[in-house]
C-alpha cells in the first residue's frame, strides 16, 4: 500500500502538529482532527486534510495516530462513542504516540482487539524540536504484524526502538525516561543555584559539568538553551510533566518499588506547577531553585542576588 494509503491523526497540539506535518512532508496523505480550529487551519496550510471529528478520521484512515494530552482523552478517542471507531470506520491499526501509561495501553488494546483493530503503543521523546527535525526516540510495543505495518511510517519521525510486544511496554519505558529527565533537571537546577549563590559563573559551571561526570540532558540542553537566556520555552507544559511523573510513580508503587528520588523531583515539579501555572514550561523547575537560593541564574556572568 505504501504511501497511497490515507493516514489519520487525532491531536494537533505542540507535538502532534509537528509529527503530522512531518508525515505530510514525507508524501503521505494525512487527515487530522483537533477541536482547535486554529490548529486545523495551520495543518491545512501545511498540506494536510482537516476532518470535522475523530469519527471522520476513522472513516477514511486505515492507520490512525493519536497524540493526546491525557489517558482519559486517549481512551475516548480510541474507543469512545464519538471516537475513531464510532462512525463507519476503516481503521485497522491505531498507534498511540501519547504518554498515557501502561494501564491505559492495556485497556485500549483489549477494547480494540475485541473490534478487530490492532493497537501499537508508541510514546515519543525529544520534544517539539525533535519532532520537527524527525529526531524523536520512538518507543514501540505491539504485535509484530502491526508494528511491521507502522514502523516504516514511524521512521519518518525518528529512531524506532522495539521494546516489547505487550501493550504498555513502551509506555513503561517512556515514563521511566521522563522521570529520569525531570530528576536531572531538578538536581541540576539546585546545583546551579548553589553555585551562583557561592559566586560561580553558571556558564563556567556548565562547561565543567559537561566535561565531567555530572553531564546530563539538563546541563547539555535545557539549562543552557532555555534557563540561562531566561526564555523558559523548552516546549513541554508543567501540567503534562506532572501527569507523566504521577503515572510513573503510580506504576512503580503498583510494582512495589519505592522511588525516593523520583518522589523528591515530583515535589519540586509540583511547586513549579503551583507557582507558575499549569501551562508554564517544564524548565520553570529552575525558577523554584532560584527562589529558594535567592538568586537568578543568568547567562554570561555570576548572577546577582534577587531581592
* 23 and 129 housed in the same domain: yes
Residue 220 DSSP symbol: I
Domain count, the chain: 2
Q: Does one domain contain both 148 and 185?
A: no
Instruction: Determine the structural domain holding residue 74 and report its residue range.
Output: 2-165
Characterise 47 by phi-psi region: left (phi > 0), alpha (psi -120 to 50), beta (else): left
Judgement on whether residues 191 and 156 belong to the same structural domain of the protein = no
Q: In the chain, where do the E strands start and end?
A: 6-10, 29-33, 49-50, 63-66, 93-96, 118-121, 124-125, 136-141, 158-164
| 68 and 192, same domain (yes or no) | no
CATH label of the domain that carries residue 269: 1.10.1040.10
Q: Distance of CA 60 to CAs 5, 17, 143, 231, 247, Å?
A: 9, 19, 23, 41, 33
Residue 17 maps to which CATH number?
3.40.50.720
Q: What is the pLDDT along the chain (307 residues), one digit of tens a residue?
A: 345 689 999 999 999 999 999 999 999 999 999 999 999 999 999 999 999 999 999 999 999 999 999 999 999 999 999 999 998 999 999 999 999 999 999 999 999 999 999 999 999 999 888 999 999 999 999 999 999 999 999 999 999 999 999 999 999 999 999 999 999 999 999 999 999 999 999 999 999 999 999 999 999 999 999 999 999 999 889 999 999 999 999 999 999 999 999 999 999 999 999 999 999 999 999 999 999 999 999 875 454 444 4
Last residue of a domain, one of 138, 165, 192: 165
Residues 29 and 92 in one domain: yes
Identify whether 304 is part of a domain: no
Tell me 29's DSSP state: E
Residue 160 and residue 179 in one domain: no
Same domain flag for 57 and 110? yes
The pLDDT, as a whole number, for residue 298 is 84
DSSP string, 49-99: EE-SSHHHHHTT-SEEEE--SSHHHHHHHHHSTTSTTSSS----EEEE-S-
Grid cell, residue 29, equals 496523505
pLDDT at 235: 86
Identify whether residues 151 and 182 lie together within a single domain.
Answer: no
| Residue where a domain stops, chosen among 144, 165, 186 | 165
pLDDT at 300: 52
192 plus 274 within the same structural domain: yes
Taking residue 84's Cβ as centre, other Cβ atoms within 10 Å add up to 28
105 grid coordinates: 495501553
Residues paired with 3 in a beta bridge: none
Catalytic residue among 75, 106, 174, 197: 174
Determine the pLDDT at residue 303. 44
Say how many CA atoms lie within 13 Å of 139 toward its Cβ.
23
For residue 170, CA distances in Å to 48, 95, 127, 307 come to 28, 12, 17, 46
Q: Please give the pLDDT value at position 127.
A: 87
User: Domain ends where: 149, 165, 181?
Assistant: 165
Let me know if 106 is a catalytic residue: no
Q: 47 and 180: one domain?
A: no
Amino acid at each position: 500500500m505504501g504511501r497511497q494509503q490515507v493516514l489519520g491523526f487525532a491531536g494537533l497540539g505542540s507535538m502532534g502538529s509537528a509529527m503530522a506535518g512531518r508525515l505530510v512532508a514525507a508524501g503521505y496523505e494525512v487527515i487530522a482532527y483537533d477541536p482547535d480550529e486554529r490548529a486545523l487551519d495551520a495543518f491545512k496550510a501545511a498540506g494536510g486534510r482537516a476532518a470535522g471529528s475523530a469519527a471522520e478520521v476513522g472513516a477514511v484512515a486505515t492507520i490512525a495516530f493519536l497524540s493526546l494530552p491525557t489517558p482519559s482523552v486517549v481512551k475516548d478517542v480510541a474507543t469512545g462513542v464519538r471516537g475513531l471507531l464510532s462512525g463507519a470506520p476503516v481503521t485497522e491499526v491505531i498507534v498511540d504516540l501519547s504518554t498515557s501509561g501502561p494501564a491505559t495501553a492495556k485497556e485500549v488494546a483489549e477494547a480494540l482487539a475485541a473490534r478487530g483493530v490492532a493497537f501499537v503503543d508508541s510514546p515519543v521523546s525529544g520534544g517539539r524540536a525533535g519532532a520537527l527535525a524527525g529526531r524523536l526516540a520512538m518507543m514501540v510495543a505491539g504485535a509484530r504484524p502491526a508494528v511491521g505495518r507502522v514502523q516504516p511510517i514511524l521512521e519518518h519521525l525518528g529512531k524506532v526502538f522495539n521494546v516489547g510486544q505487550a501493550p504498555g511496554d513502551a509506555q513503561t519505558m517512556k515514563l521511566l525516561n521522563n522521570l529520569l529527565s525531570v530528576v536531572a533537571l531538578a538536581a541540576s537546577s539546585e546545583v546551579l543555584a548553589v553555585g551562583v549563590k557561592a559566586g560561580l559563573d553558571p556558564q563556567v559551571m556548565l562547561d565543567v559539568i559537561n566535561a565531567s561526570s555530572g553531564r546530563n540532558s539538563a546541563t547539555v540542553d535545557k539549562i543552557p538553551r532555555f534557563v540561562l537566556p531566561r526564555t523558559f520555552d523548552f516546549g513541554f507544559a508543567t501540567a503534562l510533566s506532572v501527569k507523566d511523573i504521577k503515572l510513573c510513580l503510580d506504576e512503580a508503587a503498583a510494582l512495589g518499588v519505592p522511588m525516593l528520588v523520583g518522589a523528591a523531583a515530583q515535589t519540586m515539579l509540583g511547586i513549579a506547577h503551583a507557582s507558575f501555572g499549569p501551562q508554564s514550561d517544564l524548565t520553570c523547575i529552575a525558577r523554584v531553585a532560584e527562589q529558594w537560593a535567592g538568586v537568578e541564574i543568568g547567562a554570561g556572568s555570576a548572577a546577582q542576588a534577587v531581592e
